Chain A
């Protein structure tokens, strides 16, 4: 199993001092190489869930087991190392660094892992997402679709076992949505990477075999 969540609970403290529960997930699993969509409306805890899975945010309780490692048992530094080595991230707003060229952004994706990617490898990866002609362009010099392709390449740079994609097509024009989705899915398929894609768009969800409504397994969202 690539991802297993057990009894995850997460809440935030409001300015008034009251606790605001966001996640209460008894169990959730994703098999090796499986691709799933988490569907839900805004405020349903989708982004918080991705942060918990990636180790950016620690849950109040419960376990997040990725590839056999319970990352909630790790210290923050350990979670950072694990994320750098095993998890790829595609953000809704691409989040490319503006000072870096396309190839440098891709290299940055593995810079914090134990085996960073060299320029040649990053170039090959960009060529595989059909951006061989944009290697030395900075994000500001590329189209929105091209920027998201760079973001996808960066997420693959550390050869992850799990790819987390947070609304990856939300900011992309409709013409590019399918190609971005296809790119992510085919790359995950090719490298046997498990994919958990978060979206609120049913037209995106319907392209996947497995669609999980967050309200189905998150008790907080279900009770909202």
Chain B
């Protein structure tokens, strides 16, 4: 019968006290696992590897909001950019690729964010050296009302190729459901990025939805404010105003149905939420970013910097505080083990003396007490890790929905691996004094008692 078995028997003898001390360790470790994994998940979601573009272009405003909205699909758009600006960027020799995005609507079912874009978005990949993969049977955008959905959308809504979907205007709080129906033509393989919880629709189709075209008067005003001039002549503007009036009258009389009558949207009436940009050289991205800070029209934002600042300045500090707190919880649990074992020592004097009388050395009884402490700590540690990951696994769907971030339930932080040596050290520390009590037990006295 080895020492561990003897230690285990002693633990079982004090089942309730052992269970409670073990539980306190496991709760501490569980909290630590949740904190470590939680922050790892956040970090992974917002890491620089999650986007394949040098710059995100958007209207002036919060750079963080622009990145969160366009890249991570969290929160509301900052505002709109004229479509003409996108065409100008396409012609800029410094820019290799420019991909337009327009956002604002969500799916009727599940409330997933809608992104209007072009097929180029899928051709360029979602992260450096990572290309989009479509499940078999998928196609790229063919017609205006085609949609490609992320893996999480497909899983949650039970959608596949051929599924139909409708858009809710202006976000989840709105109750206006657009009449236009999109058809799923492609399903993306999981990417581990926000793309998984996004529904991509053909940009052209997005503009064809009733209400998505900007009224001509407003469009003309915005274009002039943005560029300082208008791309259209007064005659062309008058012509567009006339068409707009006729369409409004037709709608009012019920003769016109957007769902069945599609036409080319004039460029001036098109808006964009953001433009994803790849430059030929990194220096060009830096120059464009600096140049945009001095201008007033749009902001060019490095997608890493605002998130990195957020992580360092706020989330990093929160992580440190929570890490220290969970460390303290584990230390307190360790003190609990110490109290439990130490209190039991007076009851166990005779037990220790019997073992000594049977030939156990002082070091042996010391080791048995230490083994009890280690067993309690390690069992608590293993339980805590299982409970922590179990909770993350069970909570992943809710976290994804509530916080809008993707949760990999199997996320394991490297720091978790040092938990066991740390717990061993803690067990040794808290088991030392009770172990010494056992070591010093006077056998003759204890047997006579």
Residue numbers of A with Cβ under 8 A of B are 47-48, 51, 54, 56-57, 76-77, 80-81, 83-85, 87, 89, 91, 95, 97-100, 104, 107-109, 111-113, 116, 154, 158
Q: Is the CB of A109 within 8 A of B358?
A: yes
Asked whether A56 and B444 contact (CB < 8 A) given A98-B13, A100-B9, the answer is yes
Asked whether A108 and B358 contact (CB < 8 A) given A91-B447, A95-B447, the answer is yes
List 12 interface pairs A-B (beta carbons < 8 Å), by A numbering.
Answer: A51-B443, A56-B447, A76-B361, A84-B360, A85-B359, A97-B355, A104-B9, A108-B6, A109-B358, A111-B2, A112-B359, A158-B358
Q: Is the CB of A112 within 8 A of B355?
A: yes
In whole angstroms, how far apart are the Cα atoms of A77 and B365 in the complex? 13
Q: Is the C-beta of B10 less than 8 angstroms from some C-beta in chain A?
A: yes
Q: Is the C-beta of B356 less than 8 angstroms from some C-beta in chain A?
A: yes
In whole angstroms, how far apart are the Cα atoms of A99 and B1 in the complex? 14
Residues B424-449 near A (CB distance < 8 A) = 443-444, 447-448
Q: A51-B444, A54-B357 are in contact. List 18 more A-B contacts (CB 8 A).
A: A47-B444, A48-B444, A51-B443, A51-B447, A56-B357, A56-B443, A56-B447, A83-B357, A84-B360, A97-B9, A98-B13, A99-B12, A104-B9, A108-B1, A109-B358, A111-B2, A113-B359, A154-B358
Q: Is the C-beta of B411 less than 8 angstroms from some C-beta in chain A?
A: no
Residues B55-104 near A (CB distance < 8 A) = none
Residues B178-194 near A (CB distance < 8 A) = none
Q: Is the CB of A112 within 8 A of B354?
A: no
Size of the B side of the interface (Cβ < 8 Å), in residues, is 24
- Chain B, interface SS category: helix
Q: Is the C-beta of B362 less than 8 angstroms from some C-beta in chain A?
A: yes
Q: How far is the CB of A78 from chain B (nearest CB, A)?
A: 10
Residues on the B chain within 8 Å of A83, using CB? 357-359
Residues on the A chain within 8 Å of B361, using CB? 76-77, 80-81, 112
In whole angstroms, how far apart are the Cα atoms of A108 and B350 in the complex? 15
Q: How far is the CB of A70 from chain B (nearest CB, A)?
A: 18
In whole angstroms, how far apart are the Cα atoms of A31 and B351 in the complex? 32
Q: Is the C-beta of B230 less than 8 angstroms from some C-beta in chain A?
A: no
Asked whether A112 and B357 contact (CB < 8 A) given A91-B447, A104-B9, the answer is no
In whole angstroms, how far apart are the Cα atoms of A219 and B425 in the complex? 53
Q: How far is the CB of A23 from chain B (nearest CB, A)?
A: 13
Q: Is the C-beta of B292 less than 8 angstroms from some C-beta in chain A?
A: no
- Determine the residue in chain B with the shortest Cβ distance to A52: B444
Residues on the B chain within 8 Å of A54, using CB? 357
Q: How far is the CB of A71 from chain B (nearest CB, A)?
A: 12
Q: Is the CB of A80 within 8 A of B9?
A: no
Q: Is the C-beta of B163 less than 8 angstroms from some C-beta in chain A?
A: no
Residues on the B chain within 8 Å of A56, using CB? 356-357, 443-444, 447
Q: How far is the CB of A114 from chain B (nearest CB, A)?
A: 10
Q: Is the CB of B444 within 8 A of A57?
A: yes
Q: How far is the CB of A125 from chain B (nearest CB, A)?
A: 14
Q: How far is the CB of A108 from chain B (nearest CB, A)?
A: 6
Residues on the A chain within 8 Å of B308, using CB? none
Chain B positions 350 through 384: 1 when the CB is less than 8 Å from some CB of chain A, otherwise 0:
11001111111111100000000000000000000
In whole angstroms, how far apart are the Cα atoms of A104 and B1 in the complex? 8
In whole angstroms, how far apart are the Cα atoms of A25 and B273 in the complex? 103
Residues B381-402 near A (CB distance < 8 A) = none
Q: Is the CB of A99 within 8 A of B10?
A: yes
Chain B positions 404 through 438: 1 when the CB is less than 8 Å from some CB of chain A, otherwise 0:
00000000000000000000000000000000000
Residues on the B chain within 8 Å of A48, using CB? 444
Q: How far is the CB of A107 from chain B (nearest CB, A)?
A: 5
Q: Is the CB of A95 within 8 A of B9?
A: no
Chain A CB within 10 A, most for which of B6, B362, B447, B448: B447
In whole angstroms, how far apart are the Cα atoms of A99 and B9 in the complex? 6
- Determine the residue in chain A with the shortest Cβ distance to B361: A80
Q: Is the CB of B356 within 8 A of A89?
A: no
| Of A57, A91, A112, A154, the contact of B360 (CB 8 Å cutoff) | A112
Q: How far is the CB of B372 from chain A (nearest CB, A)?
A: 12
In whole angstroms, how far apart are the Cα atoms of A98 and B350 in the complex? 11
Q: How far is the CB of A65 from chain B (nearest CB, A)?
A: 19
Residues B107-133 near A (CB distance < 8 A) = none
